[in-house]
Amino acid sequence: GILINQCYLRNPVNCGNNNTKITNCICHSIINVNAGVIDHNVVFAMFSPRSAWYYPLYNVNNATISNNILLNWGDGFSGSNCQVANNISPVTWGENYINTSDWNELFVGPVNGASIFSNYHLKSTTGQGAGSDGTDIGIYGGTGFSDAALAPIPRIISKSIPEQTDASGKLKIQVT
C-alpha cells in the first residue's frame, strides 16, 4: 500500500496497479490504481486527447472514490468495480454527486492547476459539508490541506524545553 497525502502533483500519478491511498492532493490525472482510496482531492485531466492522461481517473479498479472535485473531465472515467460517491464533476457520476462545470463560481480562485498560486477554497456553499464524512468536498475536507505546506498531522506547533532539570531531576517539556 502506498499513501500520498497533501501534495501538489504536477504530472499524472501512476500508481502501478497498486493499492494506493491518495488524499487531500491537487494533481493531474490518477492512473492505474487497484483496490485503493481516492478521497478529498482536486483532480485535473489536462493532457492530449486519446491518452490515459486525458482522463481525471484512468484504469482505476476496485477503489473507493469519494469527496473529490474532478476538473476538465476530458474522456471521463476508466475503470470498474468502484464505489463512487460525493464528488463534484461536470457530469452525472456516482451517488450524491454535485454537477457543475463553472469552476469560477465554485472556487475562490484563481485556478492555475497544481500550483501554490491556486486557491481551491470553496467560494459558495456548493460542496460545503457535503462530503461522505460530513466535511467539505475537495482538499480542505477530510484530514485537510495545509496552504502553508505544513506536514500532515501530527506536527509540532510549539515547544518549550527548559535548560535544566528541576530539583528532583525531571525535565518538564511542553509540546503542542
Confidence of residue 23 (pLDDT cuts 50, 70, 90): very high
Handedness of CA 46, 5, 136, 14 (dihedral sign): positive
Q: Give first-to-last CA distance, the chain, whole Å.
A: 30
Model confidence, pTM: 0.81
Query: The sheet that has 26-28: what strands, in order across it?
Result: 8-9, 26-28, 42-44, 69-70, 88-89, 98-99
Reference 33, options 44, 23, 22; nearest CA is 22
Asked if the bond preceding 154 is cis, omega within 30° of 0, the reply is yes
Q: What is the pLDDT of residue 86?
A: 95
Fill in the amino acid letter for 161: I
How do residues 74-90 score in pLDDT, each as one tens digit?
Answer: 677 888 999 999 999 88
Q: What is the pLDDT of residue 29?
A: 87
**Contact (CB, 8 A) for 14 and 28:** no
